[in-house]
Amino acid sequence: MSRISPVWPGNSAFPIAAVLAVWAGLGIRDLPKEGSGDDLKTCRLVRVRPEWNLPVLGVLMNRPDGGPQMMLTCRLIDYATAHH
């Protein structure tokens, strides 16, 4: 039996496990577009509802009440809101 090892940018184990489950016929899954292209071209994977996409979700950030982490967290929040 050959070993198939799909790889995505960042080499995250989650998308790999999700793809392997879908390949095994274990249901429908929303998968990242990068890395799925070859499987879509060869019909190993099929888009079930091409008109549907995941909703865009906001990013929630909270900051600690005090301490050195508070300043770092505030800087991250300022950066994220300035570069939105």
pLDDT tens column, 29-68: 777 676 677 888 888 888 888 888 777 777 777 777 878 8
pTM more than 0.75: no
On whether both 32 and 59 belong to a single domain, the answer is no
User: pLDDT band at 1, cuts 50/70/90?
Assistant: very low
DSSP-assigned letter for residue 22: H
On whether both 34 and 71 belong to a single domain, the answer is no
The confidence score (pLDDT) of residue 47 equals 82
On whether both 49 and 11 belong to a single domain, the answer is yes
On whether both 17 and 43 belong to a single domain, the answer is yes
The confidence score (pLDDT) of residue 35 equals 66
- Phi, psi torsion values for 11, nearest 5 degrees: 50, 45
Say if CB 47 and CB 36 are below 8 A apart: no
On whether both 39 and 26 belong to a single domain, the answer is yes
On whether both 63 and 46 belong to a single domain, the answer is no
Q: Give the count of domains, the chain.
A: 2
> Where does residue 10 fall: left (phi above 0), alpha (psi -120 to 50 degrees), or beta otherwise?
left
On whether both 49 and 78 belong to a single domain, the answer is no
On whether both 45 and 12 belong to a single domain, the answer is yes
> Residue 84 is part of which domain span?
55-84
